[in-house]
Amino acid sequence: MKTAEIAQRYLSYFEKNDHLIVPSASLVSDDPSLLFTVAGMVPMIPYLTGVVPAPHSRIADLQKCIRTNDIEEVGRTARHGTFFQMLGNWSFGDYFKEGAIRYAWELLTGSESDGGLGFDEKDLWVTVFETDDEAEAIWRDVIGLKPERIQRLGRADNYWNTGQPGPGGPDSEIFFDRGPAYGQDGGPAVDDNRFLEIWNLVFMQDFIDNIRGKTEFDIVGELPMKNIDTGMGLERVAFLKQGVENMYETDQVRPVLDRAVELSGLRYGAEHADDVRFRVVADHVRSSLMLLSDGVRPSNEGRGYILRRLMRRTVRSMRLLGVDEPVFPELFIASKEAMKSAYPILEQDWAQLSAAANAEEETFRRTLDAGSTILDLALADTKKSGSETLKGSEAFLLHDTYGFPIDLTLEIAEEAGLNVDRVAFDSLMQEQRSRAKADARNRKRQIADVSVYGDLRAKGETAFLGYDELEASSTVLGILVDGQPVRSAAEGQVAEVVLAETTLYAESGGQVADKGVITGPGYALEVLDVQRPVPGLISHTVEVTTGVVSIDAPATTTVDAANRRAARQAHSATHLVHAALRDTLGKTATQAGSLNRAGYLRFDFSWGQALSGDTKTEIEEIANRAVQDGLEVTTRIMSLDDAKAAGAMALFGEKYGSTVRMVDIGGAWSRELCAGTHVASSAEIGLINLVGESSVGASNRRVEALVGADAFREFAAERALVSQLTSALKTPRDQLTERVADLAAQLKAAEKRIAQFEAAERAGRVPAIAQTATSLGALQFVAHDLGEVGGADEVREIATGVRDTFGSAAAVAAISGVANGRPMVVIATNDSARAQGAKAGALAKIAAGVLGGGGGGRDDVAQGGGSDAAALPAAFSAIEQELRRA
């Protein structure tokens, strides 16, 4: 039974049983404390907690998930995957334990010919919470399951909660017995490898508080509305129904594994270590593809870092399998073909998905090449020192700074006959993880608990009236101070205020929040920010500038008209720039992010190389031609399907509901789904001035532009600058470029001549300095301070010059100088001196220690420095003492 068929049977079954089928939410979670949707229940939390009313009392879905906390287990077990799909059915105050159990059992054991999944009852076991007599009785007396196949477990296994005060409840899990070949008998309480969990039924009935740990909390009461939250792992059911050993061999994943096998020339099943690598590749390629399809792009932080790690682990694993050429062009196609029937958007967006993947691989290949060179040098130095172990700090530097995988470092070191200090490496990694966890905890503490908005959201959605009005009357529904509900806020306080209606735009879709004020009887509020903390609710962060604002008070919202006008200009200009980019570069140049504020726009788009000057000019001209043409801007509310049928662009990575707002500029010239505010005619934009273009990743570029009056002011400033230059240089405007180029060439020539004079002057000083040498037995030692110098090169040049004046006679030159207030010493030794044991690197370290810094280098020339210039005489003395001992 194919994976897609299993999902369809599940959704069809629950649709027949009066469940609303909802689409999967994005892998990019709306929860600010989560990078990704890590579980099927994450998008349902607002409904489960009552913050947002559920659209139906019964819901079923297939939810995409990403989980990376067990990434090291991927490929090693049958069930660990980074990307996975959860089937769920949900009841919000409707059916409870018996209904959930009946539905699960009927679907699992129903015959395939009748639309069921066809599991044999004798292969199924269940667990219930240790005190849940009701659930056990339903399984035993209603379903008829034998008592010996019902096991009771404690809080660690059969009680669900979010880890925060709020809803929780016991659960009942359904397991499949894979047979004696996979472990010992005795049920899931004995062996969770043989007995594989496939469905979890959570009975959300309790309110918990005083949480002290995963199993340490207090059940303080019952929920007023009991909910059902279930999750069935699609991949787990798929590999059981398909008769394969693990999730990597199912129909949606195996094609990638098989293509990796073909590319490597190896055989799957021949070697355990290689099999793990093949499964890692199969999992990570699919996970990367799905993350890219939801708008995530590789980067060095947040979600982008996780994606980059998955993609680089793929490349590394293929290299360990002997494949050095690019692999994403082959592996991504295999994954797309396996997944496109379930996710058609993969085919639709294939051009930009493949371009992003290929660009990231190319970047990492360069990283690997650079890292290999650095590693080769480190290994050579390790051997030269007589050690058999590469320092953990060097392995960590390669990993942390250059992105060079530790596994590859281990393999290359082993080939060179060396070990790696894993203890030191792991210690440094643990320190890094601890810092990251501390940062994450601190970040989580700064995020308000969205449950405080529950009562406010229950009063209905905030009506946004700002498309048509800049001022409107409303009522204060709620006030929060420091994340806690209060009855009022007084002058000087910063608070969140929720109104029944507002004309102030909440930040979204790249457009920043409106500026403005909220006023009422005896009070005035300056609006600092406007956000949507939960779907359907608009919250205004304000400073109370006058009086006291209280709940139920009348309120008038007033938008800063000038700021809104400029923001509308910038947002509409963004649409024009997007259309111009696509007209110039092609349809693959699609938006990957934007920021619009009064007078300014920033637009990121999918493209792998810098734009030429001519291309930027063409884009700017196309956008401004649309401004001059005075194109009409219209908006329409319609279904998502109708908008797509009309050709509207659903921007990559954005989330849309079933009803959307479509913005046309000049009809189909620019047609996008957008909730922002816009001008009525493109002529109102005035002017677009493209001021910057840069890279923001391997496959993304960024353009920046000024709009309207800000664009004009920039042009005016440039005109004034050109006028000043023409006047100062006494050159006509049309000859200014050549004149500046000529002056630059003259300056460069002059600097070269000055450098030659300075070098000659330094060379002239060398003989006199050499004559100050002190005889230390058969060794000549020169110590000289140059005073203020321009830099280390000047000191080094004199040190080597002094050394060379002694010919074959053993000599050491120690020359110092002070640059920018910091002292430095350069040591130069010749062959004869080194034969007597005088090594420049060791002497530089001694001098640096006296100066309060660090130093070192080669045996012939080395440098040390510090912060205490007054200690230079002492540093020279320390060098001399060391030479006398040599």
Q: Which residues are annotated as a binding site?
A: 571, 575, 674, 678
Cα distance between residue 43 and residue 55, in whole Å: 13
* Residue 177 near residue 195 (C-beta atoms within 8 A): yes
Could you list the residues known to form a binding site for Zn(2+), using ranges.
Answer: 571, 575, 674, 678
Beta bridge partners of 811: 780
CB-based contact 39:46 (threshold 8 Å): no
CA of residue 37 relative to chain centroid, distance: 14
**679 and 572 in contact (C-beta within 8 Å)?**
yes
Strands (E), 684-728: 688-695, 700-707
Residues 6+ apart with CB under 8 A from 736: 722, 725, 726, 729
List the beta strands (DSSP E) in 764-854: 774-776, 779-788, 811-819, 822-829
Are the beta carbons of 549 and 486 closer than 8 angstroms?
no
DSSP calls for 308-362: HHHHHHHHHHHHHTT--S--HHHHHHHHHHHHTTT-THHHHTHHHHHHHHHHHHH
Tokens for 638, please give them.
């319609």
* DSSP of 355-381: HHHHHHHHHHHHHHHHHHHHHHHHHHH
- Distance, CA of 865 to CA of 563 (rounded, Å): 54
The residues facing 606 across adjacent strands are 700
User: How distant, in Å, are the alpha carbons of 88, 590, 604, 692, 872 from that of 704?
Assistant: 44, 15, 9, 5, 51
Pairing of strands 195-209, 166-177: antiparallel
CB 238 within 8 A of CB 110: no
In single-letter form, the type of residue at position 463 comes to A
Task: Determine how β-strand 501-502 pairs with β-strand 471-481.
Answer: unpaired
The CA–CA distances, whole Å, from 827 to 657, 760, 793, 810 equal: 70, 21, 13, 14
β-strand 779-788 against 811-819: which pairing, if any? parallel
- Among 813, 823, 884, which residue's Cα sits nearest to residue 855? 823
Radius of gyration over alpha carbons of the chain, in Å?
35
167 has which bridge partners?
207
Looking up tokens 């693990």, which residue turns up?
246
